[in-house]
Amino acid sequence: MKALVILSGGQDSTTCLFWALRQYGAGNVYALGFDYNQRHKAELTFAKNICDAHNVPFTVLSLPIIQELSNNALTNPNMAVDTDKPENSPPNTLVEGRNILFLTYAAIFAKSKGIRVLVAGVSESDYSGYPDCRDMFVKACNISLNLGMDYPFIVETPLMWRDKAQVWQLADELGVLEVIRTQTLTCYNGIIGDGCGNCPACDLRQKGYKEYLTCYRTKE
């Protein structure tokens, strides 16, 4: 069976790429990225580098319309990224409807290539207030895609119930911990690896890494 990974070039989706390679085998995995004028779009370059190194076909689709539909800190260069999550509301890095669009376009792309499995690196454990990272949303979207396209898609979410420490643990189990740590871009300010250390994405990533080293690796 063939699988299509929605790949941003960040920690989560890249971990999912290696999970898919183990699950479905080399030659059966494809990757799809999206350019929506995100402030950290350099992530797509690093995604391509990893795909090239592991012989995974990588396609990038341009979706600039997202920038026009949603005012947020990831697509508006004049808006500063929230350093703390606002009370009772999602952070200003929420790109409304992003995963709905990503899954829809990924499904269209996948069906054209006879691919049934879509792999997304979303997580409800560390979803940061993003409603389209929840398990209920993904399951509902899976049903909608199957009905709307009359095609038996399977949406896999290997990280759904893993916090960041457990995502690092999975990367280690897959033998790619250092690849994920040094060659992926999660930082909203576009700095590869450990990132800027100040934005919310870096904070979550670094806390998870430290927790993994102290709470999981020490038990092995």
Q: What is the pLDDT along the chain (220 residues), one digit of tens a residue?
A: 999 999 999 999 999 999 999 999 999 999 999 998 887 788 999 999 999 999 999 999 998 887 777 777 676 777 777 766 566 667 776 777 789 999 999 999 999 999 999 999 999 986 567 888 899 999 999 999 999 999 999 999 999 999 999 999 999 999 999 999 999 999 988 899 999 988 888 999 999 999 999 987 755 5
Which class is domain 3-164?
alpha beta
Residue spans per domain, the chain: 3-164
Q: At what angle do helices 98-112 and 135-149 cross, to 10 degrees?
A: 40
Strand order in the sheet with 29-35: 58-62, 29-35, 3-6, 117-119, 154-156
The pLDDT value given to residue 95: 73
pTM of the model: 0.91
